[in-house]
Amino acid sequence: MTATDVGHPRTGTSGGGAMATCVFAVLRTGGRQAPALTPGHAGGGAVGLLPLPGGDLQAVVQDVPAADFTQEALRRRLGDPLELERCARAHHAVITAAAAGGAVVPLPLATLFTASGRASAALADRRDRILDVLDRVEGRAEWAVKVHVAQHAPAPPAADGKDPAAAPGRPGAGAAYLARVRGRERDRQARHEALLRVAGRVHEAAAAHAVAAVRRTPHGTAITGKDRPQVLNAAFLVDDSRATDLVAAVRALGGAHAGLDVHVEVSGPWVPYSFTSLGEEP
């Protein structure tokens, strides 16, 4: 299905430049259904299957122009939002299509080898780990749970701007100012703790239905919107049979909590990107 030549950078048929092998994912051979194959990265050859030594694993690979994937070229391309989006979507499309053939271990975006032979040797070295991960994710999917809180704008500290200058000579002004500052700090703390509690509850509710969980740093308000802080950004590895339970459980937690308006978003099923690390250092 794909070039299986073992060798050194080849010459592409179209551009005439050296080609490299991009590996998207690894999966078992002999699934009930053949993995579907999508076009992959622009400018590359057809996406195909590379059998790995041992016969029971195969990699989803594509020949891509090496010049597009040098460190320099990547810095340029991934610095361009449109190009980064294009790369990420192409990568995701290949991996999700391949998952039609069974559980997959997705490899990170732009995992490249100078030749397919090098790719298959590197993957063969990690064979045990790959098989473990495949066993772990078989029949399971990743579900993402995010929680946002609609924050009712705290009463604006009306005199805020003027405080430091407020009647410096008047007795008690300094103490009153400090008391206000302390009060605001207390409110802020209380709100913060309430947010953490909500995030914790949703996380626990989801985790009860999952076999593994990953909690990421919530995204900031620059992206979510000023009055809509994200308090939970988590991913769960879930047995397919329990997915609807997880969804129902976390959605039930949306709504009002101690004065906070909680929005729960669930998305999935995803290929288990967050649970398939092969644990390699670069």
The footprint of other proteins on residues 140-199 (CB under 8 A) is 142, 144, 146, 148
Q: Read out DSSP for 57-94?
A: EEEEEEEEEGGGGSHHHHHHHHTSHHHHHHHHHHHHHH
Look at residues 38, 52, 91 and name the one whose alpha carbon lies nearest to residue 69: 91
Binding-site member from 128, 155, 241, 281 for other proteins (CB under 8 A): 281
Contact region with other proteins (CB under 8 A), list: 74-82, 149-157, 172-180, 187-195: 74-82
If DSSP codes are grouped into helix, strand and coil, which group holds residue 24? Answer: strand
Contact region with other proteins (CB under 8 A), list: 46-54, 160-168, 182-190, 213-221: 213-221
Look at residues 90, 94, 122 and name the one whose alpha carbon lies nearest to residue 271: 94
Closer residue to other proteins, CB minimum distance, 101 or 191 = 101
Q: How far apart are CA 1 and CA 3, in angstroms?
A: 7
CB of 80: closest distance to other proteins in angstroms? 8
Contact region with other proteins (CB under 8 A), list: 41-49, 106-114, 150-158, 170-178: 106-114
CB of 27: closest distance to other proteins in angstroms? 12
Determine the Cα angle at 52 with ends 47 and 57, to 5°: 85
The yes or no reply on residue 5 touching other proteins (CB under 8 A) is no
The footprint of other proteins on residues 22-61 (CB under 8 A) is 23, 36, 38
Closer residue to other proteins, CB minimum distance, 223 or 256 = 223
Q: What's the half-sphere exposure (Cβ side, CA atoms, 13 Å) at 78?
A: 11
The yes or no reply on residue 62 touching other proteins (CB under 8 A) is no
Beta bridge partners of 185: none
